[in-house]
Amino acid sequence: MSEVTFGREKRLLTTQAFQAVFGDTHHKVSHPNFLLLARPNQLSNARLGMVVAKKNIRFSVHRNRIKRVVRDSFRLMQHDLAPVDVIFLVRRGMDKLSSKDQTGLMLGAWKKLHKKLRITS
């Protein structure tokens, strides 16, 4: 069993890393409450970046909760994914769901992305 940590090397840290994915998106997973963008990278592991704007989610408590749920679901599913850079973009209404529903939603989303990656590779 490999590690399910979520250290610094598994996150998108710089503006360039974000721009690279925005500018050259290979895969998309869409949902009324969020959007996933993915692009293969040259590393040994997948990396995650998140955009949770105040414009879409008003209260910081809700923004924090969404980020935690997304991050934790990614952490648990990371080894099912190929080495890709993924960006999570939130859409309006995500804060209306409970933590449990958000977790279920995200686990489904990662599986979907995994499938898409496997077909193309």
Partner RNA sequence: GGAGUUGGCUGGGCAGCCACCGCUGUUUUUCUCGAUAUUUCCUUAGGUGGUAUUGGGUUGACAGGGGAGGAAAGUCCGGGCUCCAUAGGGCAGAGUGCCAGGUAACUCCUGGGGGGCGCGAGCCUACGGAAAGUGCAACAGAAAGCAUACCGCCGAUGGUCAUAUUUUGACACAGGUAAGGGUGAAAGGGUGCGGUAAGAGCGCACCGCGCAGCUGGCAACAGAUUGCGGCAUGGUAAACCCCGCUCGGAGCAAGACCAAAUAGGAGUCCUUUGGCGUGGCCCGCGUUGGACUCGGGUAGGUUGCUUGAGGCGUGUGGUGACGCGCGCCCUAGAGGAAUGGCUGCUCACGACAGAACCCGGCUUAUAGGCCGACUCCAAAU
For RNA, the binding residues (CB under 7 A) are: 3-8, 11-15, 18, 49-51, 59-61, 64-65, 67-69, 71-72, 75-76, 99-100, 103
Q: Helices 99-120 & 60-77, crossing angle to 10 degrees?
A: 40
Taking the complex as a whole, the smallest distance from the CB of residue 42 to RNA amounts, in Å, to: 19
- Assess contact for 74 and 57: CB atoms under 8 A: no
Residue closer to RNA (CB basis): 15 or 120 = 15
- Assess contact for 17 and 50: CB atoms under 8 A: no
Taking the complex as a whole, the smallest distance from the CB of residue 69 to RNA amounts, in Å, to: 6
Residue closer to RNA (CB basis): 83 or 119 = 83
Query: What distance in Å separates the CA atoms of residue 13 and residue 47, rounded to the nearest whole number?
Result: 10
